[in-house]
Structure 1
């Protein structure tokens, strides 16, 4: 494999790992509790037809959602009286219900889609052209790949490619690479990695001993490893209770990080979550810092922690921790004490003042729930099914098919006058690497230009408490020198786009102008 040549020279990198254990009962003092908690919940749909085990926002402002085919019938029929005839299905050979849907944000509506083989506990990521590449699953989907090419006329559906992976990928993790391929890491019983699409159709799999070293065979607690593309082109991989910096081109571990304090597991089925905190100072070369935040999990013996929480990067650089439980672990019927109140983590606040509890939902979001950021700044929340089939009665946590939106406090109407409105470039514009980009926007009152920032957020593939490929870049330098007032309420901010595909792999991103932590609606940009 060819070596990566960075377009931005990086002579020194600080790989700063932050591991933060979020213990609700024992560390309430770290939370900023208010009489009236911020944020707002809205029920969008009472029945989307499938349990939202996997979700991906597309550049058409539609969200692809799916669970698995071996659950038996879902609660939504396939279109045009079509039925799926699959002799390999373990539950229902002829199935006239859908196990994937597309949610249209603008119309708040659901459209059934067809997956032919089992996508249970699979993985995926958006490709440079905006298509969703989804890989693996269970049973007859074990070595399959599927592509969903977004459209606006309701004509698109899943395309399936059978037995194209070198290994079965069940509970694996995907990450987009600077060359446009995806690396697929791990999976149940798989201590290796491979790439897709294949080069000349003949790529092989490569051993990754780290996955065997971090595996406890009794509970297989290294599944869905946390994977992030680092600013030096290597991968930060975290499994069980420790991480490595991995040169995937040469198959070499560059650095071993110490075991997380306490030594307890964080990846599935302990199901903490992880996020790469916002990347700043992108033109700073030597001073680019990577910080990886790992929260929650279920310690050995599973005492009280937050488990199955989703971590969502918000447009202003804060992190929303949402969904999950405060006891138990992932898996059928094993979670207890749902955590109904999200928490916002503010990485720029002083230590001890970074967490703020938000307004609670009334709906438990347990095993197999998901959350994704939308272009308007809301967070879409759905799923919860702790059972081997859909089960709506006689159980502690019934299968839930509702869809909600959580609106962070920055969407409160009282901030309307300071909420930026982007007027140019147009959404879906193409941008290049290392180029000046002028962004015009409106704010309806006099502003402090030092408080304007511009962020780029990648839309991740979310499942099992981990958002694969989630990434936020801060493009501004935090000074007024790059902001010009054009009129009474009109402004222009000049930014430099990231200099290489290592910092921001090619593809579609959401771009936001943020003022005093209040983001605009995002626009789609494609960087190539």
Structure 2
């Protein structure tokens, strides 16, 4: 069975660069504390070149808005200050994805569980659809109106993925006493699979119960989806609602989705690897997901977690070879895998023992169900020989535990933002308290003179070309262009995180770089991206554009009105 087409790209000897060339900048890593998030960063997404959105659950945060507590904020990445945003429903444990026109759609959540005036001003978020169109002037806000748009199902702990038509697909899963909803749906809604705007049953989500919160979703270059949850994985055709292939189970009995969370990413797609997809999943736990083990007081905050990292090339040969198993320097639950522009992966946040949650463990720390924070990042080089890919040498150790409900993301200047942590029902000051301090992790390339460029259009369509004026070292040996989706981060899952190298050619005088857009919407789905020019492993600032035409995704009015 052929799982995806082969993409043929013609190269000339004048085509420069590749992140696969594995050239990395020398120097020192640094870690700086600066800024205050105002609300705890349970969910995090960069929304413009200068701003990021932070979503929390409704709790007694210090940031106020319109006479009440705030649970959402926009962070200025330059001044490192925040302004409140105003959702009208509880964003607690929802998901988010960007659409082809650049609008971010936040979906799912829960009811309010704290006391005070929040019950009056905040609705239940289980079926919520929230829209946010980024701006640079500080005037944009979250729009939601459940009389106009809402999901067809109730969703807590869902995941989402941007599809090749620019819409979002939302998977799973409400997990409340005696209630599960193993379904998926679309935004904008679709008349598809006999369901005109209503949820579609997923046998895979049903099979992967119980520990399948925030399933891992990745759009593949053939237009199918990679889906993983609990100990299972599959290739899924969303257009026909068919499971193409059930993949080998996660090795060694490791569970990889919340509340036994691993981190995951699609490794960079490049012309040199023929845009062949390879998935990487790290961490998790072998703790049983049998319901008897999840009675309050039974789990332990000292339960061992897994140091396992696995990779699989998602073509016929790679699937036949199965999962390649490696081991991190230390075990982690809730690790976050952050792609760098140079093609490496930074692993941050999480804990070495316990489970992802609060209020369940018999030996909880405060309310935390996990303990022993993982404070030192890990750098992973996918191009190094097996056994030499992980290192913590030279990476700074934080003093801030980033436990349950923490997040991280790459930013447009190519540093990593670390935020959040709140394994508590409400704001707390005891051990593993509610965390508002922000940290900025800077790779060695931040010390170098950065390449710059101009001439980027607002939109960049598939297979089109653009010529950038570049200011780079005339002695540069390796010049390449990478487009990145930083994703929407929550619970260690980074919805839509993606790195794609583009074909580029440097002029003979080294002043212009001709760049060709991605080959197809399945290689990079239409929507926002950040464009980095890399010179000998040093990235430029990542300027934001829209891949595709910037048009909104397909709209089925009949399904929308259901």
TM-score range relative to shorter protein: 0.7 to 0.9
The worse-fitting range, judged by mean Cα deviation, of 160-169 and 330-339 is 160-169
Task: Name the CA shift for 1:210/1:184 in 2 (closer, same or farther; >3 Å).
Answer: same
The worse-fitting range, judged by mean Cα deviation, of 152-161 and 454-463 is 152-161
Task: Name 2:152's counterpart in structure 1.
Answer: 166
**1:57-456 → structure 2 map (5 Å cutoff):** 57-69=46-58, 71=59, 73-78=60-65, 82-83=66-67, 96-139=68-111, 140-162=124-146, 164-188=150-174, 189-199=180-190, 202-216=196-210, 221-281=211-271, 287-300=274-287, 302-304=303-305, 305-332=331-358, 333-357=368-392, 358-393=395-430, 396-412=431-447, 415-416=448-449, 419-422=450-453, 424-426=454-456, 429-448=458-477, 451-456=478-483
Q: Matches of 1:505 and 1:224 in 2, distance apart?
A: 21
Structure 1 unaligned segments of length 5 or more: list them.
1-8, 14-35, 84-95
- Offset of residue 161 of structure 1: 2.7
Deviations 1:348-399 (A, max 9, x none): 1111111121211121111111011111011111101011111013xx3111
Task: Name 2:315's counterpart in structure 1.
Answer: none
Q: Matches of 2:389 and 2:131 in 1, distance apart?
A: 39
Task: Name the CA shift for 1:472/1:198 in 2 (closer, same or farther; >3 Å).
Answer: same
Deviations 1:179-226 (A, max 9, x none): 12110011122211111112489412111111111113xxxx111000
8 Å Cα contact 1:277-1:290 kept in structure 2: yes
8 Å Cα contact 1:136-1:145 kept in structure 2: yes
Q: Matches of 2:498 and 2:137 in 1, distance apart?
A: 29
Q: Matches of 1:44 and 1:437 in 2, distance apart?
A: 37
Q: Which runs of 4+ in 1 moved over 4 A?
A: 199-202
Q: TM-score, normalised by structure 2?
A: 0.78
Deviations 1:375-432 (A, max 9, x none): 1011111101011111013xx31111111111111112xx32xx3222x224x63211
Structure 2 unaligned segments of length 5 or more: list them.
8-25, 112-123, 175-179, 289-302, 306-330, 359-367, 549-562
Q: TM-score, normalised by structure 1?
A: 0.83
- Offset of residue 440 of structure 1: 2.7
Q: Matches of 2:207 and 2:490 in 1, distance apart?
A: 24
Aligned residues: 456
8 Å Cα contact 2:217-2:226 kept in structure 1: yes
Task: Name the CA shift for 1:261/1:38 in 2 (closer, same or farther; >3 Å).
Answer: farther
Deviations 1:457-509 (A, max 9, x none): 013111000110111001137xxxx22242xxx43333321122111111110
Is 1:53 paired with 2:42?
yes
RMSD (Å), alpha carbons: 2.0
8 Å Cα contact 2:502-2:517 kept in structure 1: yes
8 Å Cα contact 1:38-1:359 kept in structure 2: no
